[in-house]
Amino acid sequence: MIDFIQYLFDGLAVGSVYALIALGYSMVFGVLQLVNFAHGELFMVGAYFVMYAISLGLPWPLALALGMCSVGFFAVIMERLCYKPLRGAGKLAPLITAVGLSLLLQNLVQAILGPNPQSYPASLPEGSFSNALKAIFPAPEKIQLPQLPDGLFDWGEIVVRHRDLLIFIVAVAVTLGLELFLRKSRPGRGIRALALQPNAAKLVGVPFDFTISITFFIGAALAVLAGLLQGMADNQVTPYMGISSGLKAFAAAVLGGIGVIPGALVGGLVLGIAERLLVGYDLSTYKDGAAFFILIIVLLLRPQGLLGKARMVKV
Amino acid sequence: MIMPSRPSRRNAIAALSLVICSLGLSHSLLARAAVTEVKVGVILPLTGDKATFGQESLSGLKLALDKAGKESPQLKIQVEDTQGTPAGSAAAVNKLISTDRVAVIIGEVASSNTIAASTAAQSAKIPLVTHASTNDSITLGKDYISRICFVDSFQGAVMANFALNNLKAKTAAILVDSDSDYSRGLRDSFKQTFVAAGGVIKDELVISYSQKDRDFKTQLMKVRKATPDVVFIPGYYTQVGAILRQAKELKLNTKFLGTDGWDSPDLFKIAGAAAAGHYVSSHFASDDTDPRVQEFVREYKSRNKENPGAMAALGYDAGFFMRAAIKKAGSSEPSKIRDAIASMKNFDGITGTITIDKNRNAVKPAVIVTTTEKEFKFLTRVNP
Amino acid sequence: MEQLIEYSILPLMLFGITAIQALGLQLILGGAGLLSLGHAAFYAIGGYSAAAFSVYAGPALGITQPFLLMSLSLIAGGFSALIAGLLVAVPCLRLQGDYLAMATLGFAEISGTALKNIESVGGTRGFTGIAKLSSLAWVFVTLGLVWWALSRFRRTGLGMAIQATRDDEIASRSLGINTYSAKLSAFVVGSAIAGIAGALYVHALQFISPDEADFSRSVIIVLAVVIGGMTSLFGSVLGALILVAVPEALRFAPDAIREQRMIYFALIVIFVMLFSPKGLQSLLMRLLPRRKAKTATARGGSK
């Protein structure tokens, strides 16, 4: 029993990261009925951006804000160029385009920054760009890198890392903040309206394109936050972290109820904890399949997810 | 939309002809290349999470070949990236054998990858020499497969004896990479030697992890609860670095023992301060006072701007070893090269004096190094 | 001349095998309009089953004659992929578009994990020691048969029902077509074909690992079929050609371009989806005026 509780705590951080990524999937699917396959790559790009920015000496809040804005805008542009023209072309076309985008981003990062894992302090590959940056920023040895708290709650039988709890609290706060935003703010309500009834929303004057752009922006920003947290926790980023965490996060979103904000948090945590349980009970070889196994079970038994509402598809 | 079949067939034939022509053109250009050199295939993990091993090996190999210069026999190397996976290794070997027509192959690094590559090499009767794969089963029953490094039954025993005799350890835990033949083989050989000499390793302290894992808290908690004298981690640096770091975070103050999979400069980057104070068996230490080693270190450093690790040294030795073997064979015939390799004795490499035994494995010493926060430091040499 | 042909054998075989796999996917994706992101899993399952047969079952039953062994292995591969396809399709085809894609992806990941845990076929290290039973003849004869069979299938009642379902599921149902069994048939047959391709592959490379079932492999074959043109059989084969021939041709190009080839590949896919959804084969068609006239009359204006 003690072990079980331990694994519950162990799963908090990894589940929270899934949750933050899942929020983006959930929101975009809510308004466009599109699974943005490239969302995991936004997480990866965000993680790289933040790691390099911090390694150059930028204080982490600034690095995070810059990352959120850059990747957020990138997501908006991506939507305008690649998804918008395909609205109305059926479900298959945007999905395939999303897959293509995902592949493109992975390989671009791999080609430019190298396929090997990067750790703090990360340095850019040799080139005129990195030389220009070296002129502006102080030498790497002089930089004091921020760390996640490394303390422990040592309750004898159960040990919880401070940083795991911190990441969990951040995820909960963000989820609550997002819910608040969607309920109280004007753009937020616009997003909800679009998700519920696109045609009616347009009729009452919700700016369609703008609202979609905001949705993508917010989703991307949250993914960047997740990237910062995971990058600092693991001290490692790779071009493939997007597919592995991204797909699991999608499973989490579906598990919790796609389109439902708290569902992403619940789904992420359940998935994170499930993985830790498997490792703990010596079934770690099944860990990666777990996410997908859960996904399939959920899709078959309760497609609307744990917190979702069953939807009638009108013909 | 229904497509009539006749134009499709015509298109198919056109497509096929195009492929054959383009392949043929490019390959006929190659066919006219000279015959005075020997074509050597090289399979290495140049990308992926063992990339530093492959890149270092290649740098060492290239240094050796450049040093040999225009002297005959000239080795013309064709390098293929295996991406550090068994599938990539099998594909790379197939390409080298059927398309490039190499006479002999050097590589890979990870034992699982070399095992995958060796089936194809063996059945095509092309000799394969691995410079770095230590798992015993690689050369078993395959007379075209050999190696110039020691085997894991030796390495595991070396570390077990070190733990028992030098560290006076009585209990141990093992963290094994369940995706790796290398790791599993070492687990077995360490356990065998340790337990036979009276050490204790409880079953539940043989704990698995996967190369895909990033968080090892659950595994480390099990170790923490049991407080063994030493923890043996025969894994690769990407995971080991994270394990060491997280162990320190959990205030797990025990001695960690490692094997040549740790030997990469990236270990220190990933683990940070947690890297210090452990013991690792390897093929080479760059602060070894032997003058030949120092010369190699100097030359390597001036070319590549960093200290060479074990993989670079092994790659270097592989280059000179292969030249010596081909010279001995006096021909570029694969079967003659195989025989020459199998009969090499007392080859003076910078990773030790290499003699190939009847199982086509190298009999040579191991080096034990300790770790500081930044690098490996030579401790002692263990002879077979 | 002999050397030329010998050099080209393996790449040609790989092209043929990939083409068979692509044709299987074409039936599912282009024919039925189902996005299967787990196609590589059926390929892998077929490969593993065929290898298990030729390595374990065949010798145990006393079958050593190569032609017989290969044929039976092919059947074993195709059949196990068919069963796997059935297991996935029956529950998942009730789901709509994106969910089906995710479910097939999930299945692929699970089968990869399962294969990693089966020690008798090598686990994570892969299955080695497989005999080289494939040959250029095997591959291209099989390709020819599959191509021919599929082109005839399109004109049967079931074949047309599948395409009707893809075009408009609701209208098809209202016409009395059993859309569920149409989709099911397409999925199951397509997966079986992938299994056959896998069986040929494993006996060519003499090795297979659980990585073959990976999501990324499935994605690549989907992209190849899309680029080539998912609406036609020729398009899928064209896609397979591009997938195999381009890296081969690039072997002689400078390293920089080689590393970037996936980037160009992805860019082409996006380009195709945005501007030419019927794929490159439709671009080719526009360049050949006489074919266009012929096909226009043959089709008589239908889609």
pLDDT at B31 > cutoff 80? no
- Asked which of A123-127, B149-153, B167-171 is least confident by mean pLDDT, the reply is A123-127
Per-residue pLDDT at A120? 83
In this prediction, residues A98-115 reach a mean pLDDT of 87
Considering CB atoms only, which of C5, C154, C291 is closest to B7?
C291
pLDDT digits (tens, 9 = 90+) for C10-22: 778 888 999 999 9
Residue C96: closest C-alpha in chain A? A91
Per-residue pLDDT at A119? 85
Dihedral, CA of residue B84, residue B90, residue B95 and residue B101, to nearest 10: 110
Per-residue pLDDT at B32? 31
In sequence order, the 6+-apart residues with CB closer than 8 A to the CB of B377 are B285, B287, B369, B370, B371
pLDDT digits (tens, 9 = 90+) for B86-105: 878 888 888 888 878 899 99
Stated as kind and residue range, the H or E segment containing B363 is strand B362-363
C270 and A104 within 8 Å at the Cβ level: the answer is: yes
Query: CA of A7, closest CA in chain C: separation in Å?
Result: 22
The CATH T-level fold of domain B153-282 is Rossmann fold (3.40.50)
Q: Which chains share 3+ C-beta pairs under 8 angstroms with A?
A: B, C
B101 touches chain C (CB under 8 A): yes
Per-residue pLDDT at B28? 44
In a domain, A282, yes or no: yes
Distances (CA, A) of C233 to B206, C14, C266, C302: 53, 18, 22, 18
pLDDT at C133 > cutoff 90? no
B1 and C212 within 8 Å at the Cβ level: the answer is: no
In this prediction, residues A102-120 reach a mean pLDDT of 86
Question: Which residues in chain C have their CB less than 8 angstroms from residue B114's CB?
Answer: none
Considering CB atoms only, which of A6, A7, A284 is closest to B209?
A284
In this prediction, residues C207-226 reach a mean pLDDT of 85
Share of chain B above pLDDT 90, in %: 46
- Asked which of A87-96, B205-214, B242-251 is least confident by mean pLDDT, the reply is A87-96
Per-residue pLDDT at C274? 87
Angle (CA) A92-A94-A97 rounded to 5° is 105
B1 touches chain C (CB under 8 A): yes
Looking at the DSSP bridge assignments, the partners of residue A155 are A158
Angle (CA) C246-A39-C45 rounded to 5° is 55
Distances (CA, A) of C275 to A81, A98, B50, C231, C269: 12, 15, 40, 15, 10
In a domain, A101, yes or no: yes
Residue A248: closest C-alpha in chain C? C106
* Dihedral sign, Cα of residue A162, residue A163, residue A164, residue A170: positive
Q: Which chains share 3+ C-beta pairs under 8 angstroms with C?
A: A, B
Question: Which residues in chain A have their CB less than 8 angstroms from residue C103's CB?
Answer: 295-296, 299
Query: CA of A167, closest CA in chain B: separation in Å?
Result: 14
- Asked which of A137-146, B270-279, C46-55 is least confident by mean pLDDT, the reply is A137-146
Confidence of residue B17 (pLDDT cuts 50, 70, 90): low
Per-residue pLDDT at B11? 63
CATH code of residue A24: 1.10.3470
**Alpha carbon B253 to its chain's center:** 30
- Which of residues 57 through 86 in chain B touch C, CB cutoff 8 A? 85-86
B4 and C126 within 8 Å at the Cβ level: the answer is: no
**Average pLDDT of every residue of chain B:** 86
**Average pLDDT of every residue of chain C:** 83
- Asked which of A14-18, B8-12, B113-117, C60-64 is least confident by mean pLDDT, the reply is B8-12
In this prediction, residues B260-289 reach a mean pLDDT of 90
C254 touches chain A (CB under 8 A): no
Residue B50: closest C-alpha in chain A? A116
The token pair at A87 is 């609205």
Neighbours of B351 (CB within 10 A): 27
- Asked which of A60-69, B18-27, C225-234, C283-292 is least confident by mean pLDDT, the reply is B18-27
pLDDT digits (tens, 9 = 90+) for A277-293: 988 887 877 887 888 88
Confidence of residue A246 (pLDDT cuts 50, 70, 90): confident
B269 touches chain A (CB under 8 A): yes
CB C102 within 8 A of CB C218: no
- Higher pLDDT residue, A122 or A17? A17
The closest alpha carbon to B365, from B382, B348, B340, belongs to B382
**Average pLDDT of every residue of chain A:** 87
**pTM for the complete prediction?**
0.85
Stated as kind and residue range, the H or E segment containing B104 is strand B104-107
pLDDT at B169 > cutoff 50? yes
Residues in chain B: 384
pLDDT at A212 > cutoff 90? yes
The alpha helices in B272-309, defined as continuous H runs, are 291-304
pLDDT at C299 > cutoff 50? no
In sequence order, the 6+-apart residues with CB closer than 8 A to the CB of B291 are none
* Dihedral sign, Cα of residue B226, residue B230, residue B234, residue B235: positive
CB B234 within 8 A of CB B156: yes
B274 torsion bin: left (phi>0), alpha (psi -120 to 50), beta (else):
alpha
CB B111 within 8 A of CB B133: yes
Per-residue pLDDT at A315? 53
List the domain boundaries for chain C. 9-299
**CB-based burial label for B294 (10 Å; 0-12, 13-18, 19+):** middle
Question: Which residues in chain B have their CB less than 8 angstroms from residue C126's CB?
Answer: 86-87, 90, 112, 116
The token pair at C159 is 């074949």
Confidence of residue C302 (pLDDT cuts 50, 70, 90): very low
d(Cα C59, Cα C110) in Å, to the nearest integer? 30
Per-residue pLDDT at B29? 45
d(Cα B357, Cα A292) in Å, to the nearest integer? 49
Decide whether B38-150+289-364 matches B153-282 in CATH topology.
yes
d(Cα B136, Cα B134) in Å, to the nearest integer? 6
Considering CB atoms only, which of C170, C222, C262 is closest to A107?
C262
Containing structural domain, residue A251: 2-301
d(Cα A190, Cα C254) in Å, to the nearest integer? 51
Residue C131: closest C-alpha in chain B? B123
Residue B11: closest C-alpha in chain C? C234
In sequence order, the 6+-apart residues with CB closer than 8 A to the CB of B144 are B121, B122, B125, B126, B127, B128, B334, B338
Per-residue pLDDT at C301? 43
Share of chain C above pLDDT 90, in %: 23
pLDDT at C297 > cutoff 50? no
Distances (CA, A) of C291 to A10, A314, C285: 64, 42, 7
The one-letter code for the residue type at C25 is L
In a domain, A310, yes or no: no
In this prediction, residues A141-158 reach a mean pLDDT of 79
Considering CB atoms only, which of A235, A280, A284 is closest to B210?
A284
Share of chain C above pLDDT 70, in %: 87
- Asked which of A64-78, B35-49, B280-294 is least confident by mean pLDDT, the reply is B35-49
d(Cα C77, Cα C195) in Å, to the nearest integer? 5
Architecture of domain B38-150+289-364: 3-Layer(aba) Sandwich (3.40)
The token pair at A206 is 């919700």
Per-residue pLDDT at C3? 54
- Per CATH, the number for C9-299 is 1.10.3470
C266 and A100 within 8 Å at the Cβ level: the answer is: yes
What is the count of structural domains for chain A? 1
A14 and B215 within 8 Å at the Cβ level: the answer is: yes
List the domain boundaries for chain B. 38-150+289-364, 153-282
Per-residue pLDDT at C300? 43
Share of chain A above pLDDT 70, in %: 97
Distances (CA, A) of C209 to A166, A282, B87, B91, C47: 40, 23, 6, 11, 10
Per-residue pLDDT at B168? 93
Mutation choice for A interface testing from C166, C259, C273 by most A CBs within 10 A = C273
Mutation choice for C interface testing from A99, A254, A288 by most C CBs within 10 A = A99
B372 touches chain C (CB under 8 A): no
CB B133 within 8 A of CB B126: no
